[in-house]
Structure 1
Amino acid sequence: MKIRVVTATVAAAGLALFVASPADAHTYDHKDPYREGCARSAKVVRTAAVKTPARETVGTVKLMWSRSCKTNWTEVSTSSTASGTISVYTDRGSDTFRFKAGNGGRHWGDMMYAPRICAWGSVHVRWNGGRGGQNGQGTTGKACG
């Protein structure tokens, strides 16, 4: 009986340690690249068109890479009346950011730390409530470092 209690206690402590300190978390994950200063060393590594269901181009999605911070994030240029979601994916996680209309149609999501792994980005936009095909999406190709 005492062995079960000790085993359960040790297992619970191990689980708490795992949940409290994930091994793959990084300080730049889920943070703004411009506020953190990572955008200063940024370059575009992949681009793709943002297209409506009717195949009309309504913007550009870019996968960004910061050499100094070793992070990726996704940016979009689209109509200033569009809102939507921006996502960045890596081999170890992802981040999704919702944006509202405005900012001249230029929006970006938060970063994911991604040295020596693959990353890609996607965006979904909509305007006028998305009615009548007033929406679009685009996904960049993968960039592997």
Structure 2
Amino acid sequence: KNTSGLLLAAPRRLVAAINAAVCAPGRCAKSYICCTDRPLGASALARLRRGVTLDEGVLRPLRTEELGAQSVPRVVRRLAAERHPEVRAWYYILLEIDVGWYHVVKRVMQAVGNPVLHLHRHGIAHVSLDSIGLLEPRTHA
């Protein structure tokens, strides 16, 4: 819900092989574009970069960057706007993390006072939708 982007799916017996092929040993970086209705702000950005304590532990993103709209794929901007027509101005934050905690990106952004309205999984390790030529949404047949 309110999420788009890259999803790697495979039978359970192949998941370990896919992780080994895509991710560095012991670490699998995932990048997300957070679409919000307010700017991040210097204090929230600093807090993210220092690390935010969640129930599972401290999340310190590998990368945190505010993005201009021109850096965000058109399809992501369109999906966010279609799902939230009430939003007049969008702001975009790139987070790269290496943990897989439940809804971690949405929870960490909520913790710094900037809830995510639309979340886009931009990439997993070196694999991204634009790197494989899929920029438009796909649906199941």
Q: Considering only CA atoms, is the larger Rg found in Structure 1 or Structure 2?
A: 1
What TM-score do you get using the length of structure 2 for normalisation?
A: 0.28
- Higher strand residue share: 1
- Higher helix residue share: 2
